[in-house]
Amino acid sequence: MEVAVYNIQGTKTDRKVKLNDAVFGIEPNDHAIYLDVKQHMANRRQGTHATLEVSMLSGSTRKLHRQKGTGSSRKGSIKNPIFRGGARTFGPQPRDYNFKINKKLKKLARMSALSYKVKENGFTVVEDFTFESPKTKNVIELLKNFQLEDSKTLLVTNGADPNLVLSARNLQKVKVIHAADLNTYEILHAARMLVTESSLREIENITQN
């Protein structure tokens, strides 16, 4: 399939680029997307949550009253979970939430997400550009040219571009990412993708090789 190439002024040029149908035009696999995003979110969790169990609490272990004959329920010590300041019953403990999925499944998920973006007209190819200096207003102007001021936008570049990264880091709804680091979550999280022309080959490499 062929798509138009835009310049940074938001104007369609007279050139077109051909997108690989094996990457950008497949039948999306929703379950693969679900598993890949689930893994991405799980791997971001710190898993440092912790609560105190009875053995971890400091305090007296004296039995509050005798077991039977008082007319009251059995309680044990003051560290009993039924008391304020007592232990937590079956509370969370530090754990690792990471899990693995097959590389082929991750590639399928990325291609599915890219295919969704192309079908929904959320994928725009832009001519390669650079900023002479890091200025936030340059990125704001770029977004205005594409009418994306209020949209979550993902800028995909081919290689490190410090000026572009520094120019966009103060904008909450904009993220700059290297094509080699592209993942399913970032693709779906953005409403629109602005992809530089030279990064298309890199995207095809990470999804097919």
Closest to 119 (Cα-Cα) out of 28, 8, 36, 5: 28
Between CA 131 and CA 8 the distance in angstroms is: 11
Checking 75-80 for CB contacts under 8 A at 24+ apart, the result is: 79/54, 80/54
Residues 38 and 55 occupy one common structural domain: no
Boundary-marking domain end, from 29, 63, 96: 96
Residues 40 and 132 occupy one common structural domain: yes
Q: Tell me: the pLDDT tens digits for 81-109?
A: 999 989 999 999 999 999 999 999 999 99
Q: Number of folded domains in the chain?
A: 2
Residues 170 and 118 occupy one common structural domain: yes
Residues 31 and 76 occupy one common structural domain: no
Residues 160 and 175 occupy one common structural domain: yes
Residue numbers of the domain that contains 91: 47-96
Q: Tell me: the pLDDT tens digits for 28-70?
A: 999 999 999 999 999 999 999 999 999 899 989 999 999 999 9
- Global pTM value: 0.83
Residues 163 and 138 occupy one common structural domain: yes
Residues 173 and 78 occupy one common structural domain: no
Residues 54 and 157 occupy one common structural domain: no
Distance of CA 197 to the CA centre of its chain: 23
CATH number (domain holding residue 202): 3.40.1370.10
Sheet containing strand 192-196, strands side by side:
12-18, 2-6, 123-126, 192-196, 153-157, 174-178
> CA geometry: angle at 130 spanning 154 and 116, to 5°?
25
